[in-house]
Chain A
Amino acid sequence: MSTQDDKAKEVSADGVAGPIILFFILGLAASLVFGWIIFPKLLYSQKKQPIDFNHVLHVEAVEEGCESCHFFREDGSFSGIPKLEQCVDCHEDAQGEDPNEIKFVEEYVANGREVPWLVYARQPDCVFFSHAAHVKKAEMDCGTCHGHIGESEHSRVYEENRITGYSRDIWGKNISGLKKHTWERMKMDDCAECHATKEIGTDVETLPWPINWLPRPYEKQTGNQARVKTVKEACFVCHK
């Protein structure tokens, strides 16, 4: 026995199923477009470096490669981006006619002002990272983390995350968080790639929890994976 109500349901089900699926797909498509294409554009603002810097030119002119300008201080700490003081060694006056160099000399050298460089690789302030341990002890190349920056003729656009204020380089250009090369991303997982897999003897210390595919500090040590030495305070080795 069918009632009028049942009929009405059947009719409506037949007639509405199409639009429901269509709208589902529309919603799905719109969110995919938003999430993958529009969202990254909204999330990052584009900034230009104060001076367009040519690494190629500088690397050719110096003798010790990256370390000529990005050197280790006497106490073992890493100097990072050079201060004006080092630049002035060569650029007290403009050496050529490049408008960028002239701007640099006139605006910064002449006034004794530091260049407000935008740092692509700057980590949040709570992150502790020792260049010495990686470059000196583990003998890693600068390029492993920083890529082929030494081969750039112009400064890239600096993309600043509007929420965190940090560079897009940390999360990586690819919004999905996937990467092809080691230097395309600088999140904790990327540190973990070495720290979770290297074996004892290579002096790499394993990251502790919370990354769930890593061995946890309270677990018994298995295999030949190394641990951060002081397990109790393991988090604070990197997170200050």
Chain B
Amino acid sequence: MKIGRRSFLSFVVGGAAGTAITPLPWKLTDDSSIWSQNWPWTPVPPDGEYSQSDSVCTLCPGGCGITVRKVDDRVVKIEGMKGHPINDGGLCLMGLSGLQLLYGPTRVKTPLKRVGKRGEGKWEKISWDEAISEVTKKLADIRSNGESHAVGSIVDSESGTVPNLFKRFLTAYGSPNFMTMPSIQDSYGMTLQLMHGVSAQAGFDAENADFILSFGSGIIDGWGSPVRMFKANSAWKANGKKVVQIEPRLSNTAAKSDKWIPIKPGTEAALALGLANVIITNSLDSKKISQSTGFESFKKLVQNEYSTDKVSKITGINSATIVSLAKNFARASKPLAICGKGQGSIPGNLNEFMAVHALNALVGNINEDGGVWAVTETDYIKWPELEMDSVAESGMQKERIDGAGSEYPHAKSLLNRLAEVINSGDGSLEVIFVSGANPLYSMPDSKAMKTAFDSIPFVVSFSSYMDETAGNADLILPNHVYLERYEDVPTLAGLSKPIVGLTRPVVKPQFNTKHVGDVVMLIAKALGGGMADAFPWESYEACLKETLGVKWDVLVKKGFEFNGDKCILEGDFNFYPEAMKSLSNFSPVSVEGSVISYPLILIPYDSIRLANGYIGDPPFAIKAVEDTVLKDKNSCVEINPKTGKELGLTEGRYAFLHTPRGKAKVKVHLYEGIMPGIVALPRGLGHTAYDKYLAGKGCNFNELIGPTEDPVSGLDAAWGIRARLTKV
């Protein structure tokens, strides 16, 4: 028998025929289809018991209510809380991505002590006892040397129990250097202080307004309480209300507005006063308000200095537009003007805030539906009076390092001045505490801030994440993230009614972290004496329960509490406070740099998809950033095609962006929606810390700009900086 080709083929044919009558092909087909539908990297929630708990998001000052969905002990989804007065079921991209901040790779898992050089990333894991005794020893030494005022803290805001614990700690210790991260709240607060003589925040009844005049506020780019503003914006659209956006760039907000008016950046105050002039000249102002203090002086100011022609020249907006805008605004039944650029992270020019507030007053919308109201600081924190010892008393009498309260009497905190004061040798700190803030990334001229931090011998970070500031600290005492801890969240961000929320532990702490409130108290107790007496509570939770009193039960049950009534903005309104006199000869807040070396002007812009405060974009959010904002690993700058032509830069070209403060490699994006001569760069990119999903992507706007002190408030008023673009 000869075995040849034919025999082989016949074997194969036999095999094929046989295989067809075995289950093999059918079973393999079925299995491979199941296999292809169940890739191992597709995230699938685990099986288990589903449950939901309500809490509050703390990723921005917006204070949205959240409903956290869990399977057994694993959080699987964060949704907006239905029925919450701020967001009623809505949630932004950052809020939705919060899970990645809980479980992501960027968490600091245990107290860490630096072993290498600062910023080198070499850490030793230490116990909480060691960590606390390390801090205590340092603080005890400094205090015994009578240098207590050389200890400072930087926290995210001044309201709520945690910032107040820091404040109390510093007071009892003997240091006035309690600093907060800046925001437009500082400017609004000061405006109300100067024009009404009250201590309050401005609240806006935005939902009921019918003509919204926004001086560059990113209504749908994250201004105020972002989800609330989104909802208000949708309601305006649905009900035919008008939104006019004034800014040099066609932002998302401008694109969705009824009218976008490009303006020369930095001249917004002049426009507001020019509009006031048209309103007064045409007798469109509210008669009630014209009796107010300073009205005549104000009238004289705007009529003499802010004639339509003059304002047209200053702002670059044509006269007819100014006149019709003023008339439309004043004739609307519920007009509302708001300011604070982008997301409002830069306090801005105080004159602009006062001018815009005067505009609101002029059309009579203060304490009216759809107008401006007061939102007062929450008053539930009533702790026993501090008994200060002699060290504390002498320390508290020292001037603040940032000059708030002394050089700038109206200011409470001027973190923007800290870097310069330290770097120029005008002041120094021995210890700095940083909690809920990332100043080495998010303060203007972040490099100078880093230099200043380098000269502070002991930097303690309470960050839950390995952010830029934590990475450059000597000691990290990681806080629980918001899904693991109790904390009161008073929300003031432009809401018409004050509201307090309660963030609560929806899961057990995932790592060896401690509540920052507890840590502050532990340090105080370890210091002993008057410091220990200042904190009579057993734990932060006990302190919070006692502080909130009857509110506690309501907050635990509902997650939030607010008084249904709006607060009247009291005090005698003064149209023309002393501080406004500098407006008699308008000059925009100057931008740094010479026109010759830097012919362009760089301005920042904010996007709802980019976080630029304490937290960085979680991986989910950074994926949502468009190619025209971040391309590969480069930030894109927006320039007008005309500017591009002049510079010989085409779409997608690499370029170097130079400013007096720094240099960055960027990609060019030609965009009709930006005024010629202006370069726009997104904020929130260029992190060097956090995880591989965020670090090394794009450039940090704050490295390219420096702070500019507002002459009245001392707050940072820098809206841009001179710049040059060169081909690579």
Q: How far is the CA of A62 from the CA of B488 in the complex (A)?
A: 47
Chain B positions within 8 Å of A24 at CB level: 10-11, 13-14, 17
Chain B positions within 8 Å of A164 at CB level: 31, 34-35, 38
Chain A positions within 8 Å of B10 at CB level: 19-21, 23-24, 27
* B8 lies within 8 A of chain A by Cβ: yes
Q: Is the CB of B49 within 8 A of A35?
A: no
Q: How far is the CA of A79 from the CA of B50 in the complex (A)?
A: 10
Q: How near does chain A come to B37, taking the closest CB pair, in angstroms?
A: 6
* A130 lies within 8 A of chain B by Cβ: no
Chain B positions within 8 Å of A15 at CB level: 2
Chain B positions within 8 Å of A39 at CB level: 22-24, 27
Q: How far is the CA of A43 from the CA of B32 in the complex (A)?
A: 12
15 contacts between A and B (CB under 8 A): A24-B17, A27-B10, A27-B13, A28-B17, A30-B15, A31-B22, A32-B22, A36-B23, A43-B31, A79-B49, A124-B37, A126-B38, A163-B28, A165-B35, A171-B30
Select from chain A the residue with minimum beta-carbon distance to B38. Answer: A124
Q: How near does chain B come to A124, taking the closest CB pair, in angstroms?
A: 6
* B21 lies within 8 A of chain A by Cβ: yes
Interface centre among A30, A31, A36 (most CB of B within 10 A): A31
* B646 lies within 8 A of chain A by Cβ: no
Interface of A, secondary structure class, is: helix
6 nearest A-B pairs in the assembled complex, by CB-CB distance: A35-B22, A27-B14, A31-B18, A27-B15, A24-B14, A28-B18
Q: How far is the CA of A24 from the CA of B37 in the complex (A)?
A: 37
Chain B positions within 8 Å of A80 at CB level: 47
Q: How near does chain A come to B245, taking the closest CB pair, in angstroms?
A: 41
Select from chain A the residue with minimum beta-carbon distance to B33. Answer: A164
Q: How far is the CA of A175 from the CA of B24 in the complex (A)?
A: 9
Interface centre among A20, A80, A177 (most CB of B within 10 A): A20
Q: Say yes or no: A23-B8 contact (C-beta < 8 A), given A31-B14, A32-B18, A125-B38.
A: yes
Q: How far is the CA of A165 from the CA of B17 in the complex (A)?
A: 29
Q: How near does chain A come to B376, taking the closest CB pair, in angstroms?
A: 42
Contact of A175 among B19, B23, B32 (CB under 8 A): B23
Contact of B14 among A18, A28, A75 (CB under 8 A): A28
Chain A positions within 8 Å of B12 at CB level: 27
Q: Is the CB of B1 within 8 A of A18?
A: yes
Chain B positions within 8 Å of A77 at CB level: 49-50
Q: How far is the CA of A43 from the CA of B27 in the complex (A)?
A: 10
Q: How far is the CA of A165 from the CA of B40 in the complex (A)?
A: 10
Q: How far is the CA of A21 from the CA of B48 in the complex (A)?
A: 59
Select from chain A the residue with minimum beta-carbon distance to B31. Answer: A163
10 additional contacts (CB under 8 A) given A27-B12, A163-B32: A19-B6, A30-B11, A31-B18, A35-B19, A35-B23, A77-B50, A125-B42, A163-B31, A171-B27, A176-B23
Q: Is the CB of B34 within 8 A of A166?
A: yes
Q: How far is the CA of A18 from the CA of B3 in the complex (A)?
A: 11
Select from chain B the residue with minimum beta-carbon distance to A36. Answer: B22
Q: How near does chain B come to A157, taking the closest CB pair, in angstroms?
A: 19
* A16 lies within 8 A of chain B by Cβ: yes
Interface of B, secondary structure class, is: helix
Q: Is the CB of A20 within 8 A of B6?
A: yes
* A29 lies within 8 A of chain B by Cβ: yes
Chain B positions within 8 Å of A32 at CB level: 18, 21-22
Number of A residues whose C-beta is below 8 Å from B?
40
Q: Is the CB of A35 within 8 A of B24?
A: yes
* B115 lies within 8 A of chain A by Cβ: no
Q: How near does chain A come to B519, taking the closest CB pair, in angstroms?
A: 27
Q: Which of B497-543 contact A (CB under 8 A)?
A: none
* B424 lies within 8 A of chain A by Cβ: no
Q: Which of B27-83 contact A (CB under 8 A)?
A: 27-28, 30-32, 34-35, 37-38, 42, 44, 47-50, 72
Chain B positions within 8 Å of A21 at CB level: 10
Chain B positions within 8 Å of A166 at CB level: 34
Contact of A20 among B7, B18, B21, B34 (CB under 8 A): B7
Q: Is the CB of A177 within 8 A of B14?
A: no
* A34 lies within 8 A of chain B by Cβ: yes
* A100 lies within 8 A of chain B by Cβ: no
Q: Which of A9-55 contact B (CB under 8 A)?
A: 15-16, 18-32, 34-36, 39, 43
- Encoded as 1 (CB less than 8 Å from any B CB) or 0, chain A from 60 to 89 comes to 000000000000010101011001000000
* B16 lies within 8 A of chain A by Cβ: yes
Select from chain B the residue with minimum beta-carbon distance to A15. Answer: B2
Chain A positions within 8 Å of B1 at CB level: 18-19
- Encoded as 1 (CB less than 8 Å from any B CB) or 0, chain A from 159 to 171 comes to 0010111100001
Q: Is the CB of A126 within 8 A of B49?
A: no
* B564 lies within 8 A of chain A by Cβ: no
Q: How far is the CA of A27 from the CA of B12 in the complex (A)?
A: 6
Q: Is the CB of B7 within 8 A of A35?
A: no
Q: How far is the CA of A79 from the CA of B22 in the complex (A)?
A: 38
Q: Say yes or no: A26-B47 contact (C-beta < 8 A), given A16-B6, A19-B3.
A: no
Chain A positions within 8 Å of B24 at CB level: 34-35, 39
* B4 lies within 8 A of chain A by Cβ: yes
Q: How far is the CA of A125 from the CA of B71 in the complex (A)?
A: 15
Chain B positions within 8 Å of A79 at CB level: 49
Q: Which of A180-219 contact B (CB under 8 A)?
A: none
Chain A positions within 8 Å of B14 at CB level: 23-31
Q: Is the CB of A161 within 8 A of B11?
A: no
Q: How near does chain A come to B44, taking the closest CB pair, in angstroms?
A: 4
Select from chain B the residue with minimum beta-carbon distance to A178. Answer: B23
Q: How near does chain B come to A174, taking the closest CB pair, in angstroms?
A: 9
Chain B positions within 8 Å of A171 at CB level: 27, 30
Q: How far is the CA of A176 from the CA of B26 in the complex (A)?
A: 9
Contact of B18 among A27, A83, A175 (CB under 8 A): A27
Q: How far is the CA of A25 from the CA of B44 in the complex (A)?
A: 48
Q: How far is the CA of A171 from the CA of B26 in the complex (A)?
A: 12
Q: Say yes or no: A30-B23 contact (C-beta < 8 A), given A77-B49, A164-B31.
A: no
Q: How near does chain B come to A162, taking the closest CB pair, in angstroms?
A: 9
Q: Is the CB of B6 within 8 A of A31?
A: no
Q: How near does chain A come to B526, taking the closest CB pair, in angstroms?
A: 32
Q: How near does chain B come to A13, taking the closest CB pair, in angstroms?
A: 10
Select from chain B the residue with minimum beta-carbon distance to A29. Answer: B18
Q: Say yes or no: A163-B35 contact (C-beta < 8 A), given A27-B12, A31-B16, A125-B44.
A: yes
Select from chain A the residue with minimum beta-carbon distance to B21. Answer: A32
Q: How far is the CA of A19 from the CA of B11 in the complex (A)?
A: 10
Chain B positions within 8 Å of A16 at CB level: 2, 4, 6-7
Chain A positions within 8 Å of B30 at CB level: 171
Q: Which of A112-167 contact B (CB under 8 A)?
A: 124-126, 161, 163-166
Select from chain A the residue with minimum beta-carbon distance to B30. Answer: A171
Q: How far is the CA of A83 from the CA of B532 in the complex (A)?
A: 45
Chain B positions within 8 Å of A165 at CB level: 35, 38
Q: How near does chain A come to B282, taking the closest CB pair, in angstroms?
A: 59
Q: How far is the CA of A125 from the CA of B11 in the complex (A)?
A: 42
Chain B positions within 8 Å of A176 at CB level: 23
Q: How far is the CA of A171 from the CA of B11 in the complex (A)?
A: 30
Q: How near does chain A come to B46, taking the closest CB pair, in angstroms?
A: 10
Q: How far is the CA of A177 from the CA of B26 in the complex (A)?
A: 10
Q: How near does chain A come to B420, taking the closest CB pair, in angstroms?
A: 54
Select from chain B the residue with minimum beta-carbon distance to A161. Answer: B31
Chain A positions within 8 Å of B13 at CB level: 24, 27
Q: Say yes or no: A23-B23 contact (C-beta < 8 A), given A31-B18, A80-B47.
A: no
Q: How far is the CA of A36 from the CA of B23 in the complex (A)?
A: 7
Q: How far is the CA of A225 from the CA of B615 in the complex (A)?
A: 57
Interface centre among A25, A35, A79 (most CB of B within 10 A): A35
Q: How far is the CA of A224 from the CA of B30 in the complex (A)?
A: 32
Q: How near does chain B come to A115, taking the closest CB pair, in angstroms?
A: 14
Chain A positions within 8 Å of B32 at CB level: 163
Q: How near does chain A come to B34, taking the closest CB pair, in angstroms?
A: 4
Q: Is the CB of A34 within 8 A of B22?
A: yes
Q: Say yes or no: A31-B7 contact (C-beta < 8 A), given A16-B2, A166-B34.
A: no
